[in-house]
Amino acid sequence: MEESDLKGMKTILPIKAPLRVALLIETSNGYGRGLLKGISHYIREHERWQVYLCDQDWGASPDFALRRWKGDGIIARIETPAIATALRGVKIPTVDVSSSRLMPKIPWFENDYPAIAKLAMEHFTARGFKRFAFCGDKRYQWAQWIRDHFTSMVRAAGYPCYVIEPNCHSALGNESELQEITAWVKSLPKPIALLACNDFAGRGVLEACRIASIQVPDEIAVLGQDNDEVFCELSTPPLSSIQQNSARIGYEAAAGLVGLMRGETLSNEGIFVPPIGIVTRQSTDVLAIEDRSVVQAVRFIREHACEGINVKDVLKAIPQSRRLLESKFRKVLGHTPHDEILNIQLAKVKLLLVETDHSMESIAERTGFNYVEYLSVAFKRIFGMPPSEYRKLNRR
């Protein structure tokens, strides 16, 4: 080739081979698919991966021999001894996205369980409940953590908390287990607010209430966890649920694995991701408040808070003096009508920040804030960071 033929030609660099990563994460439930979604987002933004997805149910053993696999990294939900056994002796960078900690020396990424318990407690106390219950599952570490944090918060507030963890080791819905839960919900004092360790347990409680002719949410308000939308919507009544941020957990786990594959050291103390919020459906759409004027005021606020109302608008709808209404709110709910309006607005802001690409101007308009600046100041005061930072952290 003549020298003139080389002029203007670009230097062709060798193509970097994609990283080979195995994902040992179940695809049979919404939480596992959320983890995979976050990992997928990280790959699109940063890396070229050749992914080996072990399409499996929860806790199933990997369907290929990891010790003979010539890969670069593994992201695994190490929930059972079978998975831990398959991974022991594998000399490949690995991160865990499970709470079981069956391999405690490797880095792990999980939900912020104290934050989940706190969110549930706030959801119930905002509805005036003074009695609480928890339906758990002794098989799972994460369920025990939620139980411990929730019951501690309830009892620290001076309220009783009743706990059941079914003895049966089959999936919730087994006939003997359902009978046990049905007898338990009958025995509970009412009205009462019940947190289930996940949506599956929540649906089991709803079925027990149906069998026992217990009204949901008037007698027992039921809150699940995971917000598997199809599962929750098909429950009777539709199940309110805590929306975790499993996509961000997956994203952070992928970023952590890349660090390990580059030779960096990663702490095994855990990275904990807080939940996004609560999706309220019929199973907790209730107010356990005896004062009817407060009930009417709260319902008015929840229906119209994002329309830009203020306390004067509430007093027009439920006529009484401002001082009297504020006194009632403080006594029953522990905060003012203005706080209730702001809480509803900011909860909606958080969901829009995470789930949409709307501008701050659009979000302010949709949530009843006249000025973006006021929204930002209020958001930072309550949550400790500006909306832009919250969106950046949680959109993963």
Q: What is the mean pLDDT of residues 234-242?
A: 93
Residue 5 inside a domain? The answer is no
Residue 38 inside a domain? The answer is yes
**In terms of residue numbers, what domain contains 362?**
292-394
The predicted-structure confidence for 35-75, as pLDDT tens digits, reads as follows 999 999 999 888 788 888 876 565 556 656 666 778 899 99
Confidence of residue 12 (pLDDT cuts 50, 70, 90): very low
Question: In the chain, at which residue ranges do the beta strands (DSSP E only) sit?
Answer: 19-24, 49-53, 73-76, 94-96, 109-111, 132-135, 161-164, 192-196, 220-225, 240-243, 271-273, 277-279
pLDDT at 19 over 70: yes
User: pLDDT above 90 covers what percent of the chain?
Assistant: 54
Confidence of residue 93 (pLDDT cuts 50, 70, 90): very high
CB 88 within 8 A of CB 76: no
Residue 88 inside a domain? The answer is yes
For 224, 235, 265, 298, the CA distances from 238, given in Å and listed in that order, are 11, 5, 45, 21
Q: What is the mean pLDDT of the chain?
A: 87
Whole-number pLDDT of residue 61: 63
Confidence of residue 83 (pLDDT cuts 50, 70, 90): confident
Is there a single domain that holds both residue 117 and residue 106? no
Is there a single domain that holds both residue 107 and residue 119? no
Residue 6 inside a domain? The answer is no
Whole-number pLDDT of residue 68: 72
Amino acid present at 258 = V
Whole-number pLDDT of residue 396: 55
Helix axes of 337-355 and 292-304: crossing angle, nearest 10 degrees: 30
Is there a single domain that holds both residue 72 and residue 130? no
CATH number of the domain within which 332 lies: 1.10.10.60
The predicted-structure confidence for 98-152, as pLDDT tens digits, reads as follows 988 999 999 999 999 999 999 999 999 988 899 999 999 988 889 999 999 999 9
Is there a single domain that holds both residue 68 and residue 92? yes
pLDDT at 1 over 60: no
Q: Which residues contact 92 (CB under 8 A, 6 or more apart)?
A: 66, 69, 71, 72, 73, 74
Whole-number pLDDT of residue 333: 84
Residue 1 inside a domain? The answer is no
Whole-number pLDDT of residue 88: 85
Whole-number pLDDT of residue 109: 95
Distance CA(394)–CA(396), nearest Å, equals 5
CB 289 within 8 A of CB 128: yes
Distance CA(191)–CA(217), nearest Å, equals 9
Is there a single domain that holds both residue 27 and residue 61? yes
Residue 13 inside a domain? The answer is no
Whole-number pLDDT of residue 151: 97
The predicted-structure confidence for 258-279, as pLDDT tens digits, reads as follows 999 988 888 888 899 999 999 9
User: pLDDT above 70 covers what percent of the chain?
Assistant: 90
Q: What is the mean pLDDT of residues 331-353?
A: 90
DSSP-derived letter for residue 92 is S
Is there a single domain that holds both residue 33 and residue 96? yes
Strands 277-279 and 240-243: antiparallel
Domain count, the chain: 3
Is there a single domain that holds both residue 58 and residue 82? yes
Is there a single domain that holds both residue 66 and residue 106? yes
Whole-number pLDDT of residue 62: 64
Distance CA(101)–CA(80), nearest Å, equals 10
- As a whole number of angstroms, the longest Cα–Cα distance in the chain is 94
207-215 LR contacts (CB < 8 Å, sep 24+): 207/173, 207/178, 208/178, 208/181, 208/182, 208/184, 209/185, 210/236, 211/178, 211/182, 212/182, 212/185, 212/186, 214/185, 214/186, 214/190
Residue 72 inside a domain? The answer is yes
Confidence of residue 173 (pLDDT cuts 50, 70, 90): low
Tokens of 92: 């490949």
Distance CA(18)–CA(30), nearest Å, equals 28
pLDDT at 228 over 90: no
Instruction: Identify the residue with better confidence: 103 or 9.
Output: 103
Residue 158 inside a domain? The answer is yes
Whole-number pLDDT of residue 3: 43
Is there a single domain that holds both residue 176 and residue 63? no
The predicted-structure confidence for 356-386, as pLDDT tens digits, reads as follows 889 999 999 999 999 999 999 999 998 899 9
Is there a single domain that holds both residue 72 and residue 91? yes
pTM for this predicted structure:
0.79
Is there a single domain that holds both residue 217 and residue 301? no
Strands 192-196 and 220-225: parallel
3-state SS, residue 256? helix
Among candidates 276, 279, 193, 275, which has minimal Cα distance to 233?
Answer: 279
Whole-number pLDDT of residue 201: 92
CATH number of the domain within which 61 lies: 3.40.50.2300
pLDDT at 249 over 60: yes
Residue 224: phi, psi to the nearest 5? -95, -170
CB 190 within 8 A of CB 129: no
Is there a single domain that holds both residue 321 and residue 269? no
pLDDT at 10 over 70: no
